[in-house]
Structure 1
Amino acid sequence: MSKKQILKWKHIVLILLVLVLSVCGKAWRDFPKHYKSLSYVTIVHVLYYKLCKRHLVWEFTPSNFNWRLLRIIHIFIVTPSLVLLFLSKYPKARWKQLCYLVKWVLSSSIVEYIAHKQKMIQYKHGWNIFWSSVLYAMMYILSSLFTKRPLLTFFLSVCSIVFFIIKFKVPIKSKQLFSRRFDTIVDCFYHSKLEDLL
């Protein structure tokens, strides 16, 4: 089996692992209760790919996997399943909430660190596991806050987006050098080794 095929199977195993945990944890039963939070997380995930289209700070390494399909699976299935699993067992006591949050952030960060070492996730433009941990903490906190305090969640989301744009120098107002007809070619460049070389 080639390295690309092994990487493809690693992605499949990771996706299946999250789905199995979600099913075994019976988190799907709480979907009607948390669907707004899951929609929020999905929208933020899509927004990341839209705003950082030409300046992705982290990205899944596709290798033998259609990169669009891999993104769609993570945006609409994996990440919402992870958040649903988190929210379904979210405790009510403040101290327990803090311990629960720390456990989830550490667990998610460890899994991502292993995935990064296995070349399943690439970091660019100064991103590292520390920033991923911060992002996990924000994702879990804001998803739990969304249904109770949507305006506050929206405000904190906008502040964090602005912070990350400034911190990682994301070019928001860059002029498009190519028309939409060439988007596919440009996307292939940004998802290949050529981007690292140039």
Structure 2
Amino acid sequence: MNLSLAVILLVLALRYAKWSKWQEFYPTILYMVMLNLLYSFIVKTNPLWLYKSSLIPKGLLDIIIIFIVETSMIILFLSYHPIQWKRISLYWASWIIVFSAIEYIFFLADRMDYFRGWNMGWSVIFYIIMFPMLFLHYKKPIVALLLSIPFTLGFMWIFDYF
């Protein structure tokens, strides 16, 4: 199922993303990769969530999620991001709902586990933060990097990583 999502998002990105803007999107992709690798380092032995696959080893699955799923998602997300504020909140809400639904399906299909008090509600909160932060990084990278610090420290405090 995780592999199916990777293939679907990759095909959608290859077909529909605005590849002429890939250089504009690249710093935001690196931002997401950096934060995911930081998460992997911080929670190495005690994760908040864990993707599971019967076909792919965990390390390879993490690489597929970080470099294919999330990269494809960012390219698609930024390719069609509206400019008008009235449409932005609807756009963000759509992405939050879709990714929350995908995660919920993964959870129901036993392709994802939660630990340390993390649950679907926390994932929705995370998506509510993540999609605006991706757009903020695209527009104002320094501001997004600075805001990422208190968000990261806040999650580390809430889930007892200090």
Scaled by the length of structure 2, what TM-score is found? 0.94
CA distance in 1, matches of 2:22, 2:145: 21
Residue 21 (str. 1) matches residue 12 (str. 2):
yes
Q: Match for residue 54 of structure 1? A: 45
- Number of equivalences: 162
Report if the CA contact (8 A) 1:83-1:140 is conserved: no
Residue 166 (str. 1) matches residue 152 (str. 2):
no
Q: Match for residue 80 of structure 1? A: 71
Q: Match for residue 127 of structure 1? A: 118
Higher mean C-alpha deviation, range 131-140 or range 31-40: 131-140
Unaligned runs of 5+ in 1: 1-9, 172-198
Q: Secondary structure at the match of 2:116?
A: coil
The alpha carbon displacement at 1:166 in A equals 0.7
Structure 2 residue aligned with 1:89, among 67, 74, 80?
A: 80
- Flag the 1:17–1:127 CA change in 2: closer, same or farther, 3 A: same
CA distance in 2, matches of 1:76, 1:168: 26
Scaled by the length of structure 1, what TM-score is found? 0.77
Unaligned runs of 5+ in 2: none
**One-letter code aligned to 2:152:** I
1:1-198 to 2 correspondence within 5 Å? 10-171=1-162
Deviations 1:126-146 (CA, angstroms, capped at 9, x unpaired): 111111112222221111111
Higher relative contact order (CA 8 A, sep 6+): 2
- Flag the 1:147–1:103 CA change in 2: closer, same or farther, 3 A: closer
**One-letter code aligned to 2:143:** L
The alpha carbon displacement at 1:52 in A equals 0.9
Identity of aligned residues (%): 29
The alpha carbon displacement at 1:79 in A equals 0.6
Q: Secondary structure at the match of 2:50?
A: strand
The alpha carbon displacement at 1:92 in A equals 0.3
**One-letter code aligned to 1:149:** K
Report if the CA contact (8 A) 1:58-1:121 is conserved: yes
CA distance in 2, matches of 1:22, 1:109: 19
The alpha carbon displacement at 1:123 in A equals 0.7
